[in-house]
Structures are given as C-alpha cells and as structure tokens.
Structure 1
Amino acid sequence: MKSAWKSLALVLPLLAACGGQPQQENTPADAAPESQQASLTTPTATVRFLGGWSQEQRGAIVRGGQLVVDYELYRMTDCHNSTYAGQQAWDTLAYVRFQPGGQLFSGSVKQATGSTTFVNKPFVVPTVPADATSVELWFFTSGRTCQSRYDSNYGQNYRFPVEAQSPAAVAWAGDWGGSFSRECVHQNTLANPIVLDSYVMERACKWVDADVYVPGVTDAATARPELVQAQVEFSVDGGPLQYKWLSYQGRVGNNHRWRWEVSSEPLQYTTWSQYQYAFRYSTDGVSWYRIALGAGPSGGTARTVQRAF
C-alpha cells in the first residue's frame, strides 16, 4: 500500500493542509524506517495532534527515550472517500525528523477496525537520537483517487525541543480541590464521595483539581507544563481502568495545578452508579506518583463519585 502512496505523491500537487508547502518537499523516503512499538523501559513522551488544528506535548522528549506520535486520524479528511475496487484506498503517514542530525522516521497512523472503519494508530520512535536538540513533524495523506495533502504547519513543520536528560521525578502531589457549584470557583477542599444530584448536573460547574511539585520544573522561573504528564485514572462501576489527560491550570506557589473536567455528557446519558478515580503524575511516562485517599507510587484507595439523580 505504501508504494502506491509514494507513486501518487510524485505525480499529484503537493499541498499543505493549512496552506503552503512543507520544507524540503518532505516526500516519502525509502530510507525512512517504520518504527515498532517498544516496551516502556525508557523515558516516554507523547505529542498529540488533535482535531481543530491544535497540538500538545505530554512529557519531556529526552535523548535515548521514546517518542509517541498520537495523530487524530480525522484531523485531515481530504482523501477519506478515496476507493479502489470497492475498498477504501488512502493512508496518513507521520514523518519525524531530528535535528541537527537529520535522522528521519516515518510510518502510518491509521489502523483498520473493519473493512470501512479506522482508528488512530500511535506511531512510536523507539529511540530519540543521542545528538538531538529538537524534532520536527509533519503528516501526509494520500489516496488512489484524491489529491494528496500535507499537514505541515503552513510548510514550517511542527517543532518541539529535545532535552539532554529527563527532568527530576515528581516529589509530591496533593491538595485536592475543585468546584461543584454555580460559582464555578476553585475551592481548597474536596468531598469524598462527590455526590452528583440533579441540581449539580444541571446548574453547577464540575471539576476536580490537584497540585504537583517537581523540583526544577514546577518552581522554575519559566513555566513548562509540557514536562509533566498528568492523568486521571478512573473506573465505572468496577470496570476496567481508563485514563484521560488532565488540563494544566497554572502555577500555585511552587506547584502546578491540573484539572479533571467532569463532563456532564457521559454522566447524563450513560448508565452508572459510581466512578472511582485517582490522579497520577510522571516526568518520564514510566514511573507514576499516584494520589487518591493516599499518595505515592500506589496512592491508596480510590476516591469516589456517586450518582444521586
């Protein structure tokens, strides 16, 4: 399939998804190996390319570590109707180039879940080069019967710094707070369990906050929240654990505050009785500092959200 995309790229106009051409043409290269998923034994960072043309970095990109590229497959849909012999015939490729050495990696970010359905497939660079100081990324979508397109930041490519070593480990996390009222103002205490009744569901803000301290990161003069990986870990009625990224709220003293937006939509329109949740933080994507009713690597018993509507 990839050779078909390469041939197509050579004959169709090269257009950036947002305008302009990517630097150095950025056409698929024979020398660009496709990476394979590796086990989490080294520092791991994730760069996410979301719908609405936004992107974010989660964790420090470190020399010798891994880099995971999480690309929203339907961010660029120009070729998604391309077919051949009754089958969908298109693909989206990620390109990752490190500077100053120019090491180039590429591979598909598309995975089939059926004959006509597809989901995002993370692309993993297993080892960030030892001489890297930065990395640039771009994406190429092409198909049998469509005009190929680039997502390349108006031809400038998406750029992120590479660190010589990992930041310090998380030293502390805690100070639960949040808002479940119409005032929508952070309160420095948080009930356990959180009880969601019809009034809260219909009229109140619903979020949970907690703070984290990382020496040299959260107390630095320049805020770099991308160096901290922050997630909520939760299960619904005893089901399997799920994880979502938290949103950075700013600096509080020498700490960073992170938030879980407890969205009304899944709570209102799904059947459930109890959510159990904890927060966890990391600077390497491998070792996590977990907080619930306790703190540390385990974090103790999970906190609870109960349904009362």
Structure 2
Amino acid sequence: MKKSAWKSLALALPLLAACGGAPQQDDAADGAPLEAQQAPLTAPTATVRFLTGWTHSQQGAIVRGGQLVVDYDLYRMTDCHLSTYNGVQVWDTLAYVRFLPSGQLFSGSVKQATGSTSFVSKPFEVTVPSDATSVETWFLTSGRTCTQRYDSNYGMNYAFPVEAQSPAAVAWAGDWGGSFARDCEHRDGLVDPIVIDSYVMERACRFVDADVYVPGVTDAATARPELIHAQVEFSVDGAATQHKPLAFQGRVGNNYRYRWNLASEPLAYTPWNAYAFGFRYSTDGVSWYRIANDAGPSGGAARTVQRSF
C-alpha cells in the first residue's frame, strides 16, 4: 500500500560519535563475562556498527529474545596495532555488551586473523535477555607492549534501547527516484538502465532513492529510522551479491526515504561494466521486502547501472 500522499516532514538522523575514557561499571556487571548465546534463526536480528571516523549506527530494532550483532571496525582505534612480541603482533580488541537493568555482561574478540600479519573485523553476536530494556557497549584494545585503550563514549558507554517486541513488518516499498544531474536535486522516477558516462562521473551527483512504509514506524510522531534494515543489494558483472546499508534521508509523507550514493570509488578506479541492483527492507533482519523492477519478497528482475566512459 503506497503511503506517499500525506504531508511531508523531513527529519535528519544524527550521527553519534565519541571515544576515549574508561567504561562505566556498576555492581551488576562484576564478575567474569558470560559467553555469547545462539538464538533460533527466526529471531529478530539487529546490527550496531562502529565505524572509522568515530561514527556509529544501528540497523534494526534490538528486541528481547532476538540477536544483537556488534560490528566493530578494527581501524577505528589503531593505538596498539604495532604491539609485537618476537615479531608477532600481540594485540586484540574486545567488545563488551551489557544489558540493563539486570546487568548481564557478554564479551568477545572482534578481531580475526587472515594471515600471520593481516586481520579483519569479526562481528560479535549475543542473544538479548528477556528482561532487557536497554543495552550499552564499549571496547578495549590492548597489547603486550602498549597501554590499554578504551573506546567507550568518554566513559559513558554507547547506549541503545531494547524493544519488548518487533515492529510491524514492511507493508510497502517503491517510488524510485534520485539524481544524476549537476543540481543534485531528487527527481521522481528512475530510468532503467541508468547510464554512467564521463559527464555524470565528472560533473553530476549519483544517487538512487526509494521509499518504504512500515505501520507504526514510518508514520509515528517520532522518527526512528534505526528500526528498519535498509540495504542495497548489488552484483558487479555477475559476481557474488553484496549488501550495503542505505542512508536515511527523512520522512516523505508517511514513508521513510533511503538513498544509495554511487561514490566515485570504486566506479572510477575499478574495472566494471554493469551493476545489477535492488533495494531491500526488513524490520527483523530475517524476512525482506524487495524492490527492483517489481516489489515483494523477490523484487523481480534487478535494475541496472551501465558504464559508458
């Protein structure tokens, strides 16, 4: 059901960023951390991401009994990355996740080795306790030859609300639009295929927008875009499908609008001929509503971005 005819109210989603300081502790958190638990695959899943540049974001509602994934970029804080012993890197970054009011505490490494001297970020996943009303996280990087470094919002910890139940499912998504012009103004409608030529690469904006409607969320008095998983799914020249978060733009009528920015990199600096893409939305991170050349669970045939430069 299309919901874009109501009065528009643009709302911006603030990026929260802070670092440093030892984490807050309380009596409920004393003792050894508990190990992460595994929830059924049908449980709602939320992801909080901590990125370089001291920004962080949430996608999906954190729901009692569901899963919480903490995705921490190892290059957000690199103070101890040169810590070695006998030529071997000896440092680690631990995530701490504490649920309130009962104080259940979980911890685990967010670092995974891909070679003797190369590492990638490893998501840390926990089950949300049935009595939780909020959750806070912080991170500790330490090494054999460096001082411990906390990433803890200057000792206040990073806090997120926990919902008693999942939001309603996505009811509709559509209304493609965007801009491939110098004025960078959103225009309704989107050609297929989108052709990227040298003029667009050098002088124009490159973004695709679409709207989504979730009853009780996108039409609520208070904007909470973090309750929705919004992603572009794309394949480059037939390679494996990739997923990246979409950027929240604000409210349009009773819908939320999300955007895919086609940045200069990798368009200008990697070989490619065509992107096949669509958007997908979810409120539980499990069941998805897709739009491409159709709308629904499958989304129909993918739309296309073609190279012409």
1:210 maps to amino acid: A
Deviations along 1:214-273, one digit per CA (max 9) or x if unpaired, are 000000000000001100000011111001100000000000000000112211111111
The alignment partner of 2:200 has SS state of helix
1:197 maps to amino acid: D
Q: How does the TM-score come out when normalised to structure 2?
A: 0.91
Q: CA offset at residue 29 of structure 1?
A: 7.0
Q: RMSD across aligned C-alpha pairs, in angstroms?
A: 1.6
The whole-number CA distance in structure 1 between the counterparts of 2:22 and 2:95 is 16
Structure 1 position 133 matched with structure 2 position 124: no
The alignment partner of 2:147 has SS state of coil
Q: CA offset at residue 31 of structure 1?
A: 2.5
The whole-number CA distance in structure 1 between the counterparts of 2:81 and 2:286 is 35
> Structure 1 residues 220 and 80, CA, compared in 2 at 3 Å: closer, same or farther?
same
Q: Aligned residue pairs: how many?
A: 291
The alignment partner of 1:148 has SS state of strand
1:111 maps to amino acid: Q
Structure 1 position 77 matched with structure 2 position 64: no
The whole-number CA distance in structure 1 between the counterparts of 2:134 and 2:157 is 12
The unaligned stretches of length 5 or more in structure 2 are 1-17
**Residue in structure 2 matched with residue 208 of structure 1 by the alignment:** 208
Deviations along 1:251-303, one digit per CA (max 9) or x if unpaired, are 00000000000112211111111110000000000000000000000010000
Residues 170 and 283, structure 1, Cα contact 8 Å, conserved in 2:
yes
> Structure 1 residues 167 and 130, CA, compared in 2 at 3 Å: closer, same or farther?
same
Deviations along 1:190-219, one digit per CA (max 9) or x if unpaired, are 000001111111100000000000000000
Residues 33 and 107, structure 1, Cα contact 8 Å, conserved in 2:
no
Q: Where do 1:189-200 residues align within 5 Å? A: 189-200=189-200
Q: CA offset at residue 35 of structure 1?
A: 2.1
The alignment partner of 1:199 has SS state of helix
> Structure 1 residues 18 and 170, CA, compared in 2 at 3 Å: closer, same or farther?
closer
The whole-number CA distance in structure 2 between the counterparts of 1:195 and 1:19 is 45
Q: CA offset at residue 25 of structure 1?
A: 8.1
The whole-number CA distance in structure 2 between the counterparts of 1:29 and 1:118 is 31
Structure 1 position 65 matched with structure 2 position 66: yes
Structure 1 position 22 matched with structure 2 position 30: no
The unaligned stretches of length 5 or more in structure 1 are 1-16
Residues 134 and 161, structure 1, Cα contact 8 Å, conserved in 2:
yes
Q: How does the TM-score come out when normalised to structure 1?
A: 0.91
**Residue in structure 2 matched with residue 165 of structure 1 by the alignment:** 165
